[in-house]
């Protein structure tokens, strides 16, 4: 069996002559190719709705839909699938016209079996290898996600990736792109939450020179930059309603006009969207368009949080140790001690993989020997027990032990680290939480605690960044253009 056949997707044979169809299928099967069959164009289109296909091999003369009509439908509905037309010598001109319009090849009847196999080998689609050097997915729940992702990757279906912040939605989006037939074309990502509302439209759709103040040159937007490839709309739920309407039209019509332009540009782009919100709830609240929701929710994939995929915690931690050890001059790479593994697997990981990555970088900085120890992780610093119950007041628990001197020093270290981080991002809570590897909810709770501490009528306190940080940054008030 040829390697090309073993790794290829099935060939769909469309032929109304049952005997010839059977002979072609036998020839392909002997060469190791999986096959599907249809007696006419309508059956072929119905088959393509159900199955993933690597090539369509179609007769030209069929009723009621012939090969030429089938090709036109295929170009519209499944533009990435190669198409080979089988035709008689007398109508070769029409076959050549199909080649000009994007068909892969044509075969003149009668043809030799070896010639058929040669052309199939040349044009059939073969999914990429599933080996992912940067993809860690040993837990059964993530393996199921990747199994489904592999099925949809080779299609052009729009995928909606759901999951909490930091679970690796962009990593899965890149997996989809690498395993698609667009893998050699661009992968373009745009974070809809990080771009100011007044710039997001031109960022996505481009603009012409003079379209607005400051538009000194024409600009190709993200859709144009992704032409032929994949566009990731990260955190699409943060897009303003007015822009959602334009996005819907672009997705429906597969064409756009730049801001300030009149020329229509045809698009050939596969779209993947991500959100950390429940979009059905956003639709009910009126913050997300229902028609756009149905347009992008063609193939939903939910990525479980790290606390629900315990089998990935240690492999991911080891991956990050190996990734960052060279930059921290750690040779050899420190190993995880049994006690550290116990701490890692028993932790809740509210910040998911992003938090784990930050923790492992911190552990490399603090570790002194050949092993990572629990104290190197400093998990109790960024996520003390009270973080899981923000409504409780510290010290309220009956019988709670009084904080020790070490606890207080660690608390001040944490406070200084959080406030310094908040200052570096101009008080933007969302960015600070991402840098710290914690949720915005946890950050809000901690800032509230610090405000209460700084206004408490107790004795003199140790000088901390809170005394010099502007009040609007302590409260998390934002003076930059971003959406939440």
Specify whether the CB–CB gap between 359 and 377 falls below 8 A: yes
Dump the DSSP string for 68-132.
HHHHHHHHHH-TTS-EEEEE-GGGHHHHHHHHHTT--EEEESS--HHHHHHHHHHH---PPP---
**pLDDT of 458 higher than 50:** no
Specify whether the CB–CB gap between 156 and 270 falls below 8 A: yes
Round to whole Å and give the CA distance between 3 and 180: 19
Most confident of 270-274, 370-374, 383-387: 270-274
**pLDDT of 403 higher than 70:** no
Closest CA to 70 of 154, 9, 267, 59: 59
Total-model pTM: 0.58
Instruction: Give residue 257's pLDDT.
Output: 87
**pLDDT of 79 higher than 60:** yes
Dump the DSSP string for 356-413.
HHHHHHHHHHH--SSEE-HHHH-HHHHS-GGGG-TTSPTT-STTPPPPPHHHHHHHHH
- Encoding tokens for residue 177? 């792109």
Cα separation values, 256 from 38, 194, 204, 221, Å: 36, 23, 10, 10
Cα separation values, 342 from 37, 141, 314, 327, 350, Å: 55, 21, 10, 26, 17
Which tens digit of pLDDT belongs to each residue from 325-360? 998 888 889 999 999 999 999 999 999 999 999 999
Instruction: Give residue 80's pLDDT.
Output: 67
Instruction: Give residue 411's pLDDT.
Output: 66
Round to whole Å and give the CA distance between 400 and 407: 14
Q: What percent of the chain has pLDDT over 70?
A: 82
473 vs 80: which has the higher pLDDT:
80
**pLDDT of 323 higher than 50:** yes
Which tens digit of pLDDT belongs to each residue from 12-33? 999 999 999 999 999 999 999 9
Strand partners, 83: 56
Which tens digit of pLDDT belongs to each residue from 168-212? 999 999 999 988 888 889 999 999 988 888 889 889 998 888 777
75 vs 465: which has the higher pLDDT:
75
Which tens digit of pLDDT belongs to each residue from 412-448? 767 877 887 888 777 888 888 877 777 787 888 788 8
Number of separate helices (H) and strands (E) present in the chain: 22, 14
Instruction: Give residue 147's pLDDT.
Output: 84
Mean pLDDT of 371-386: 69
Specify whether the CB–CB gap between 379 and 342 falls below 8 A: no
In SS3 terms, 323-370 reads as HHCHHHCCCCCCEECHHHHHHHHHCCCCCHHHHHHHHHHHHHHHCCCC
Residue 462: pLDDT band (50, 70, 90) is very low
Which tens digit of pLDDT belongs to each residue from 234-254? 999 999 999 999 999 999 999
Instruction: Give residue 30's pLDDT.
Output: 92
Residue 483: pLDDT band (50, 70, 90) is very low
- Encoding tokens for residue 458? 């107790």
Instruction: Give residue 6's pLDDT.
Output: 54
Strand locations in 244-313 (E): 255-257, 264-266, 270-275, 299-302
């Amino acid at each position: 069996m040829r390697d090309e056949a073993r790794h290829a997707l099935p060939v769909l044979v469309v032929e109304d002559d049952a005997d010839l169809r059977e002979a072609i299928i036998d020839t392909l099967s002997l060469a190791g190719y999986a096959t599907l069959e249809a007696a006419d164009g309508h059956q072929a289109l119905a088959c393509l709705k159900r199955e993933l296909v690597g090539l369509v091999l179609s007769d030209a003369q069929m009723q009621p839909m012939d090969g030429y009509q089938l090709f036109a439908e295929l170009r519209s509905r499944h533009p990435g699938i190669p198409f080979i037309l089988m035709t008689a010598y007398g109508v070769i001109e029409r076959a050549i016209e199909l080649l000009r319009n994007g068909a892969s090849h044509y075969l003149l009847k009668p043809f030799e079996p070896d010639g058929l196999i040669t052309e199939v080998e040349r044009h059939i689609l073969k999914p990429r290898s599933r080996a992912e050097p940067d993809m860690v997915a040993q837990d059964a729940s993530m393996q199921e996600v990747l199994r489904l992702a592999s099925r949809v990757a080779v299609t052009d279906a729009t995928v909606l990736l759901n999951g909490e912040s930091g679970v690796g939605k962009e990593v899965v989006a890149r997996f989809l792109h690498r395993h698609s037939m667009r893998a050699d074309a661009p992968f373009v990502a745009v974070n809809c939450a990080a771009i100011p509302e007044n710039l997001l439209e031109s960022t996505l759709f481009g603009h012409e020179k003079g379209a607005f103040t400051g538009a000194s040159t024409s600009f190709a937007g993200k859709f144009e930059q992704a032409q032929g490839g994949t566009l990731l709309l990260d955190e699409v739920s943060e897009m303003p309603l007015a822009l959602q309407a334009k996005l819907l039209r672009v997705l429906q019509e597969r064409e756009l006009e730049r801001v300030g332009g009149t020329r229509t540009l045809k698009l050939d782009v596969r779209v993947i969207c991500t959100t950390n919100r429940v979009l059905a709830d956003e639709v009910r609240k009126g913050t997300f368009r229902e028609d756009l929701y149905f347009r992008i929710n063609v193939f939903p994939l939910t990525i479980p949080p790290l606390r629900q995929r315990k089998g990935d915690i240690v492999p991911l931690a080891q991956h990050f140790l190996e990734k960052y050890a060279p930059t921290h001059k750690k040779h050899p790479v420190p190993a995880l001690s049994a006690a550290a593994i116990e701490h890692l697997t028993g932790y809740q990981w509210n910040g998911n993989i992003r938090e784990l990555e930050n923790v492992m970088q911190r552990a490399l900085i603090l570790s002194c020997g050949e092993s990572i120890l629990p104290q190197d992780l400093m998990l109790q610093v960024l996520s003390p027990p009270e973080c899981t119950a923000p409504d409780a007041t510290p010290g309220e628990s009956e019988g709670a032990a009084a904080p020790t001197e070490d606890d207080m020093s660690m608390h001040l270290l944490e406070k200084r680290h959080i406030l310094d981080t908040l200052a570096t991002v101009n008080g933007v809570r969302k960015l600070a939480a991402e840098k710290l590897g914690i949720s915005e909810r946890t950050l809000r709770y901690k800032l509230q605690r610090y405000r209460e501490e700084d206004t408490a009528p107790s004795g003199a306190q140790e000088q901390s960044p809170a005394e010099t940080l502007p009040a609007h940054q302590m409260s998390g008030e934002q003076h930059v253009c971003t959406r939440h």
